Structure 1
């Protein structure tokens, strides 16, 4: 019995190494994922180097560059990867406490957090805290199974089985070892052989020699079909111990000799690899020498080539500079010509404006002068009816002149951007009432019926002063172009939930399509003056259009000769909260 226990301990030392030889970084898809991540962050040089050395399993360099990346202003995702690199590298260097600190810094939202749990499980396994190790291995189980990577799944089952074995929970250990062995029973893989060795060790510890020997033999038979010298040596050595325990020393000796042969083959293989690595380094060194010689030759050639190149670049720059300067001169000339044309256009507009305004003012003043002369003569005759008519006529002429000057002032201020706009919530019905009051004398003089049919619930978001200017001008035009006993109606229509549509409708003389187009045309400073003196300068209409635009509104005109006119305005409604 003592011999059996002693020999079993020789067998059992292979089990932990089997568990820890499984791939711990994650499968190929994780390696591919971090390479793609590095490509997507091309500017993050330290991150690229950290992932490169991580894949090369150069742990010290991984720790250096991942820390450099963490010290820079990285985004959260890069930091998660760097903490994982550091935790894994510290684990490989057997710095388990420091590794656990790094893994704990990783947020659970990390895409590959299951690998964090898996590696923490390894840390607790190394510290012989097997219950905690099992807990973390099971946390990673669901995600590992989802990836359907057999090497990962095999490693997981093996590690869980070994933890249960250390806890003497043999039934659970057996369950996981057998799950590992049955992952891919039709293929002979290293994982399958290791699983059989683990199951054999499990039975051997429970003194179930028959079952143990069956699995040791199975592992030995399967090892014939693989090229892993280390695993072949393990399988042969285990069979040697089995035969020794059965007192079959001849067979035991044969198995031990085979195990030694495989050990020698492994050593030879390592030597061959070492020699190959040395030859590779020597070849690289020789190549580097050749490269240095070629670099010196290339430098000489490049010096000559660069001389010609820079000379050509110099000539090209001079030529390009000349072309650029010529182009700029042509461009500046075009700009000057355009500015001159614009200035000429503005001067022509100004001259036209002054010509029309001065003509209207002269006409108004002359009419006022003539009317005042008649007024003086009428005072001597004491004809009070005619006197009253002349006073009303004078008032009309003065109001017209005042309106013209007022529009001219506001138009000038608008053009020079001196007019101040302050938008606020305005009760439309009340504003129209005020405008009606201001024009009451003119309305009564022509016996015009004025109707304010605007909804009392409407509030619009506009500048109050400019709104009054717009409505005064349009009401003034409606009165001016209406006959005696005419009608002027202000009313609203609901066509849009965000805008108010205000209509100013009169039954006056109306206008034709050409006049409408002229009034609404963009860029026209004034409408053309017709022979009829009743048609004004059009300055008020231009002022209205610009102020409506400033208030985020629109204007449209519907009219026919002798059938009246509709001025259709839209303004934004006041937005209500809720």
Structure 2
């Protein structure tokens, strides 16, 4: 038993150290906060020392940052904000130089009124982890775990959860560590980052293994080992093989343990070889630098000898350069003119293609609509003479549907032509989706009443997106028109939003109608096809409206997708950027 305990402890130390080191590389979204530092430096550009220290900080020159922040802090006219930012730059620079105690002192000098004080807590938590002050780290991270989601812009909540789990694991508080480490595994499985997932499995495996819950621990060790096979990181392969060797030795599977030990030794040799290669490469670089220095010295001597000759050729070269410059100027002007001509030709070809498509649609679909109206009117005259009121009512409704379809076609053609010829006007503004949906639905209530369709607007009044209002109305109108057209009598149409993405809001138009096959669904999502093949021959449609929708959604920086199954209805999903 004592031998097993010693082996397990060794195994735990190996995995915990490797997992901690890998995770600390991504504590904060540094680039985002660097932009804050950059803006603040520009705002205080008159404070020369602060501006210079911020510039050195952004270029990762830590020593220069420390020098100029000290000069700034010695200025008696400093504002409290400049002081706080100066202490932050110093604390971060000390942290990067591994001077953790000095970094702690600087971070603790920052006032609680600092606009990003929660980031200071994160930094102090990182330093406490580096110094293995786990209880102190927990106090910092527990303050961060209760923050609202809006504050997790510059670091991730999953980072806080993971570090809390590690701290509790180091302290032997297994029950407290378990939920954090399980959550970390779930997150990394979703992200599919191989290296991080291997470490996440290792952390959870160690948690169970230290408690002698082998049945729970070993599957995670095995997952980590199998996943390391896909990794190119030799150190990860090395540690995973060692872990499995120790596990199999504890299980008395000595043959397997020996195989893992051999694999571990192979990776160990690879690591040693890699280190040797790095050393040789370093020596080669040093030798190359020395050789280059000698070469530079020789060239300097040669240059001094050629100074006189160079001065004699100087004026000749200047004349040649002037002639070359004039020649290049006229050549570039000619190239520029040719590019303009080619671009104009391509634009003209595009416009001609657009014209051909428009003529094709007009000749085909308006002819179909007029022919249908002509046939219906002939029947109308016959039934009028026979005074067949039921048939008259039915034909009049059919005529109304045909005329409405032709009108929508012409309206779509107009907007599509304007879009293709870049004549449409766009103004991206903040829009509340609920009221736009209400307005569009109100215009289509008569058509829905004719088919006894139940309509539900489930869009939240709080959902706001960035879009052009008029083009969004055209998109909603076409999607509602399609939903009504392909819905059965007594059907249901629902419009609602889905907010599972931080960047986009999904607006869903769902009907319980005819649906479509997978082939037709994929065909409709293509950008190249103007006209789509009809799934239902009895329903008039060209597919132009849907193509117009896709073009307008793309111009609004949005995305479009379709979910449907033949006979089970359709979901048209419009994803638009959220208002921040």
TM tier, smaller: 0.3 to 0.5
Report the TM-score when normalising by structure 1: 0.45
TM-score, L = length of structure 2: 0.45
Q: Which has the larger radius of gyration?
A: 1
